[in-house]
Structure 1
Amino acid sequence: MEKPFIIAISSVSGGGKTTISKALQEELDQSKVIHFDQYDIPSPDDFSNWIENSANYNDWDLHKIDEEIQELYKQNWKYIILDYPFSYENQQLVDKIDIAFYINTPLDIAMARRILRDIYDISVLRNDLQIYLENGRKAYLQMEKVIQPHADYVISGQQPVSNIVSEIVKRIY
């Protein structure tokens, strides 16, 4: 049995990872998506401190995703799509990824998408924006500095989803 081809789709929160991953799954036969957000991933306790002191993506324990990939190896998938923010920057998965795409979405658009996606109560909005200003934006900028340059391909997140998916498909064939 042949190992599935693993495609990492990375971006900041609200950058389009999940939307692109789902659309890509529809385009690619025999494909399965692994969504980072569906796992309870142990992460650094003090996010702001993490960004300022180490910003080491290996601080996230991704063994659950690694185990899921191992299980999918046993099945007949041609492609595994990782809806996953870290691209090649976490050593637990780096050797499994065959190609990495970074969806480069302007931070204001990503934040607007997050608000539309996640905020249903206006009182929660103020808290979420405060967290973004204190820590979240630093994390977004860190990703642009570290994750984006190491991706195999950087694709504009301002394009229609169909254009982004077409560009990815063109790169993997």
Structure 2
Amino acid sequence: MDEIMIIGIAGGTGSGKTTLTNRIKERFGEDVTVVYHDNYYKRHDEMTYEERCLLNYDHPDAFDTDLMIEHIKKLRQGETVQCPVYDFTVHNRSDRFTEIRPTKVILIEGILIFENQELRDLMDIKVFVDTDADVRILRRILRDVKERGRSLDSVVSQYLNTVKPMHEQFVEPSKRSADIIVLEGGQNVVALDILIQRIYAHVHKEERA
């Protein structure tokens, strides 16, 4: 397997990480694989739905990051992995898995992917998407109400009780680990072009050799 480039895309909730990730994926298609940290939320079958609703999903301990690290290492070695699939409507892992195959470029996306040093050290490029807090909460409300079946009250409560304090404690400080800070995520055409050029050079380097 040719050398694989691993790019981490981090940032707060609603910052535009997914938009940036999608733009890159659209541009390079089969040459890029995306691994979402969200799919590695821990399974909690022992809890009721109501109990799971009360968990803090914005703390590093909410994730099975060790499993993600194991999977990224396997992908880098050219192995295929079975990635868990998380169901946000029930706050738990589903019984489904997604097969992820190694490609020339692997994007890792998540709010807390720079918080863990072992995971961070696997990345060749670390991108932090930095967006105003007011914009992020509005995007979060729209997404969670429309796509995840949440009530407005529950989204606002979760934001104030866990999302905002965890962002300030863990996400914002992790920005210091970034190689590139992108303002406004996928809307930042200049930053997107720079990333695309770097990825293009990696994907096509054998042609120039």
Normalization by structure 1: what TM-score?
A: 0.78
Q: Does 1:157 align with 2:160?
A: no
Q: Distance in 1 between matches of 2:156 and 2:62?
A: 25
Moved over 6 A (4+): none
Q: Greater strand share, 1 or 2? A: 2
Which secondary structure state, in structure 2, belongs to the residue aligned with residue 7 of structure 1?
strand
What is the match of residue 136 of structure 2? 110
Question: In terms of mean alpha carbon deviation, does 65-74 or 100-109 score higher?
Answer: 65-74
Contact 1:10 1:17 in 2 (8 A): yes
Decide whether the 8 Å contact of 2:41 with 2:63 is kept in 1: no
Please list every run of 5 or more consecutive structure 1 residues that lacks an aligned counterpart in the other structure: none
Distance 1:17 1:123, change over 3 A: closer
| Letter of the 2:71 counterpart | E
Q: 1:147 aligns with which of 165, 174, 189?
A: 174
Superposition RMSD in Å: 3.1
Aligned counterparts of 1:80 and 1:148: Cα–Cα separation in 2: 20
- 2:75 corresponding residue in structure 1: 72
- 1:167 is displaced (CA, Å) by 3.2
What's the CA shift for 1:166?
A: 1.5
Given that 1:157 and 1:164 are in contact with CA atoms closer than 8 Å, whether structure 2 keeps it comes out as no
The whole-number CA distance in structure 2 between the counterparts of 1:166 and 1:101 is 13
Cα 1:135–1:26 shift into 2, 3 Å:
same
- Matching residue of 2:4: 4
Q: Give the whole-Å Cα distance in 2 for the aligned partners of 1:123 and 1:6.
A: 33
Q: Larger Rg: 1 or 2?
A: 2
Question: Partner of 1:40 in structure 2?
Answer: 41
Q: 2:117 is matched with which residue?
A: 91
Contact 1:100 1:151 in 2 (8 A): yes
Offset, 1:158: 6.2
Closer, same or farther: CA 147–5 of 1 in aligned 2, 3 Å: same
Q: TM-score, normalised by structure 2?
A: 0.66
Q: Quick one: distance in 1 between partners of 2:40 and 2:56?
A: 18
Instruction: Quickly say closer, same or farther: Cα 1:88–1:128, change in 2 above 3 A.
Output: closer
Amino acid at match of 1:118: D
- The one-letter amino acid paired with 1:13 is T
How much identity, in percent, do the aligned residues show?
25
Task: Count matched residues.
Answer: 166
Q: Is the 8 A contact 1:88 1:97 kept in 2?
A: no
For each residue in 1:87-114, what CA deviation from the matched residue of structure 2 results, as whole angstroms up to 9, or x when unmatched?
4321341221111000001111111111
